[in-house]
């Protein structure tokens, strides 16, 4: 079950490596404004209820790049599978907890509060984002076309996770890769 993925250390170890790959791809493309080289300009993050203690340092910084040319210095934030925009909780937590609590009830909210420390108010906000905001975004209107048949928008994100296979760990990683474009300024940032 998806709840087990949150406790599985393998997922937490894989996501930083994927973020580094995404940053390397962005760096290789160079500065979009002037074509100059991009250098690392990582910035601190303090995500709530994330990875095991031994991996906290891997999640304490977000990959970011800055143009090396003195007259440009534009900042570029590559897509991420660890962070969903500016949310305090990690992307995997937001996706999995939202899928688990499909339809927030007091009992489910209490279970999620115990599991990851998220309040019922936050769960309701995440649920509203999945059901009302995401389906209206330009990202979703374009990206949903990759699926052969429509994704049930009334059951997001669970219906989205199911599209990425039966293996929960591979499914969450594929889902986070699919959602990565919304984690950048050029994509659709999730409101806090």
Q: What is the pLDDT of residues 115-170, one digit of tens each?
A: 788 888 888 899 899 999 999 999 999 998 889 889 999 999 999 999 998 888 89
| 88: nearest Cα among 53, 117, 64 | 117
Per residue in 23-65, pLDDT (tens digit) is 999 999 999 999 999 999 999 988 877 777 788 888 899 999 9
Instruction: Give the count of beta carbons closer than 10 Å to the beta carbon of residue 34.
Output: 14
Tokens of 11: 């997922």
Euclidean distance between CA atoms 29 and 12, whole angstroms: 27
Q: Where are the domains of the chain?
A: 2-183
Q: What angle do CA 168, 172, 175 make, to 5 degrees?
A: 135
Helical segments of 30-137, H only: 91-100, 106-116, 120-128
Note the pLDDT of residue 2. Answer: 62
When pLDDT is averaged across residues 104-108 and rounded to a whole number, the result is: 80
Confidence of residue 107 (pLDDT cuts 50, 70, 90): confident
What is the pTM (predicted TM-score) of this model? 0.87
The gap from C-alpha 75 to its chain's centroid, in whole angstroms, comes to 20
Note the pLDDT of residue 192. Answer: 37
């Amino acid at each position: 079950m998806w709840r087990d993925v949150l406790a599985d250390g393998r997922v937490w170890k894989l996501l930083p490596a994927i973020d580094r790959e995404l940053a390397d791809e962005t760096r290789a493309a160079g500065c979009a404004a002037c074509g100059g080289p991009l250098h690392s300009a990582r910035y601190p993050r303090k995500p709530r209820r994330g990875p095991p203690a031994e991996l906290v340092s891997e999640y304490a910084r977000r990959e970011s790049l800055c143009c090396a040319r003195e007259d440009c210095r534009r900042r570029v934030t590559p897509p991420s599978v660890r962070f969903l925009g500016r949310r305090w909780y990690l992307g995997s937590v937001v996706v999995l907890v939202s899928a688990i609590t499909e339809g927030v009830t007091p009992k489910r909210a209490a279970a999620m509060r115990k599991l990851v420390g998220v309040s019922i108010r936050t769960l309701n906000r995440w649920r509203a984002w999945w059901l009302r905001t995401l389906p209206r975004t330009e990202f979703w209107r374009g990206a949903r076309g990759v699926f052969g048949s429509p994704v049930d928008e009334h059951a997001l994100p669970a219906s989205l996770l199911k599209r990425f296979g039966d293996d929960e760990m591979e499914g969450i990683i594929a889902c986070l890769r699919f959602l990565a474009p919304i984690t950048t300024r050029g994509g659709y940032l999730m409101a806090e």
